[in-house]
Amino acid sequence: MTEDDRAARFFRDMAANTEKMVKATQLFGQTKDEDVAIGTTPKHLVMRRDKVELFHYEPIAQATAKTPVLLAYGLIGRYTMADLQPDRSLVRSLLSKGLDLWLIDWGQPGRTERWLTIDDYVDDYIDAAVDRISQDTGHDQVTLLGICEGGVFTTCYAALHPEKVKNLVITITPIDFHADVKDKAAHHGFLNIWTRSLDPEDIDNLVDTYGVVPGEFMSSVFSMMTPMRSLTKYNVDLIDIVDDEAKFMNFLRMEKWLADRPHHPGEAAKQWLKDLYQENRLVDGSFMLSGRQVDLKSITAPVLNVFALDDHIIPPDCSRALGTKIGSRDYTEIPLPGGHVGLFVSSKSQGKLSQSIADWLVARDVTAVSET
């Protein structure tokens, strides 16, 4: 290829990219907020306690597993990641498989939630939600479905209140916060390493200053974990998808979810960062909630542990650790391809996650019925 050919090709590519960027700008201008709505699966409010709300999703298929399932996301993000859009929604997919699905939504914490602890979230909010579900459905026990930090909360609840838990399902959940040390993948465990490097006094100063760990602060931390992706998504990635409306809208919905990063309540953040990430108290049995030891051996319900094999935020080994720590004999691990968020929103993973969860729950529901 001659110099003239290369120059001509450069200007053609530049013109094509400019045309796509103009088109993207026009699409942004034409798109309304309601066009990129997330978390749209129909549900109704059952109970409100402070800023925390309990919802019940409307059924869309004949019931299979009868035991109600309570979905709990973490405080670091919003549950809408599990209900991004109709064709990329764990919530809608589980409903289509006949599960009775409930949601606990933590709302948008602010400075007024400064003194809330993980104790409050586990022994107050989750416990109140479980009791209300039991009251409304007539079931003495519920299935807990925890995602990420929400998986830690539900794991703690299953250990402290085993009599109220029929099954425990956790996804992309850290249990051993130091297991990444032995992980051979260079891109796994950045968050663990960064958090362990923090001076505990700096964590205290951050919380004392803001009353929370600001959502914007955590967004910047996650952006640093994939710096090139963060730098190129509005030019390279956007240019690649601007001619595909479905991909363009999915891109916008993901950006909307990422921008909706809530603040993390201060005292709960101290426990999360110092007691768990730094001191690894959950796995060694020294983590205390409401004056009681969270003993993982007290978990007697069947447990399903789903994790992503290429999760750079919660490395697989951090999740796998649960299997050797619990008291239940019914323990199942399902490793799935994908990353931390991709497990829930990627077109490649759609169906695999929900089908695995539904099959596992239905099998145990049928077993329980046959034994009664």
- Give the pLDDT of residue 204: 96
Determine the 3-state secondary structure of 89 from DSSP. Answer: strand
Asked if residue 112 lies in contact with residue 121, where contact means CB atoms within 8 angstroms, the answer is: no
Residue positions annotated with a catalytic role: 148
Task: Tell how far CA 358 is from the center of its chain.
Answer: 18
- Work out the pLDDT band at 351, boundaries 50, 70, 90: confident
The rounded percent of the chain whose pLDDT value lies above 90 is 66
The whole-number pLDDT of residue 251 equals: 83
pLDDT in tens, 60-100: 999 999 999 999 999 999 999 999 999 999 999 999 999 99
Q: Which of 205, 223, 238 is nearest to 312 (CA)?
A: 223
Q: Which residues of 92-105 are buried (b: 16+ CB within 10 A; e: fewer)?
A: bbbbebbbbbbbbb
Task: Determine the average pLDDT of the residues in 220-233.
Answer: 71
- In tens, the pLDDT along 17-69 reads 666 666 666 666 667 777 788 999 999 999 999 999 999 999 999 999 999 99
Question: Which of these, 237, 255, 258, lies nearest to 36 by C-alpha position?
Answer: 255
pTM: 0.89
pLDDT at 369: 44
Tokens of 143: 């299935």
What is the distance, to the nearest Å, from the Cα of residue 205 to the centroid of all Cα atoms in its chain? 27
Supply the pLDDT for residue 203: 96
Retrieve residue 161's tokens.
């209140």
Number of CB atoms found within 10 A of residue 367's CB: 11
What does the mean pLDDT of the chain come to? 89
Distances (CA, A) of 203 to 114, 219, 269, 275, 349: 14, 16, 9, 12, 36
- pLDDT, one tens digit per residue, over 244-280 is 778 888 888 888 888 899 999 999 999 999 999 999 9
Give the domains, in start order, of the chain with CATH numbers: 38-371 (3.40.50.1820)
